[in-house]
Amino acid sequence: MTVDMIMERLKKRYPPGKFESNDPFRVLISTVLSQRTRDEVTDRAAEKLFARYGTPGALADADVDDIEELIREVGFYRVKAPRLKEIARIIDNDFQGRVPADMDTLLLLPGVGRKTANCVLVYGFGLDAIAVDTHVHRISNRLGLVSTKTPEETEIKLRSALPKEHWRHINELLVRFGRDICRPISPKCGLCPIIDLCQGRRDTKTFV
């Protein structure tokens, strides 16, 4: 089956472990920080933030101006700072400091959409979920696994296209693949380990 071949080849090229399961609170806050922000910038801001406020209670009690200063590098930091404080307050007050492990409850948190919630389920709890970011959406369509217009549609279609055993691995694999080879513009097709399985390559000789 093509999808199994794609996943197996990518697993060989990108052994698991780069995005290991972590503390759910850190995953949640880092993913909110990452929205419209480069990964390296997110990582720096998250490290500074958690060094000062490492628990929901501590972040809930933090001064918004101080949070802003710590995350100033990320996009929309003035919007994100009070949002992070409110997320921490809700978790600390309503969930006894524990991040909820179900999609519906996570979606009730301010600023948390399906991608963020799925990242928490996958990387925070090690659950079977499909986290669709720009890499997963773009590459899934390029490969021909789905034909969709939005990340939300991609998640729904991938649930049918992918055996469940692949769900929690696809984000890590396609993120690494998208940074390394299958770039939005000028992908390195000559180095691609799945070029023979790529519908996009069969359909056109040029990616834009």
Per-domain boundaries in the chain = 2-16+131-203, 24-124
Q: How far is CA 90 from CA 27, 108, 111, 146, 205, in A?
A: 16, 10, 13, 36, 50
Active-site annotation holds for 128: no
Confidence of residue 81 (pLDDT cuts 50, 70, 90): very high
Q: Which burial class, exposed, middle or buried, applies to 177 when counting CB atoms under 10 A from its CB (0-12, 13-18, 19+)?
A: buried
Tokens matching residue 111: 């600023």
CATH of domain 24-124: 1.10.340.30
Q: Which amino acid is at 161?
A: A
What is the average pLDDT across 184-195? 95
Q: Is 182 annotated as a binding residue?
A: yes
- On whether 189 is known to bind a ligand per the annotation, the reply is yes
135-168 pLDDT per residue, tens: 999 999 999 999 999 999 999 999 999 999 999 9
Domain covering 2-16+131-203 assigned CATH 1.10.1670.10 in the classification: yes
Q: Is 115 a catalytic residue?
A: yes
Predicted TM-score of the model (pTM): 0.89
d(CA 165, CA 174): 15
Place of tokens 């399985």: 197
Burial of 39 (0-12, 13-18, 19+ CB in 10 A): exposed
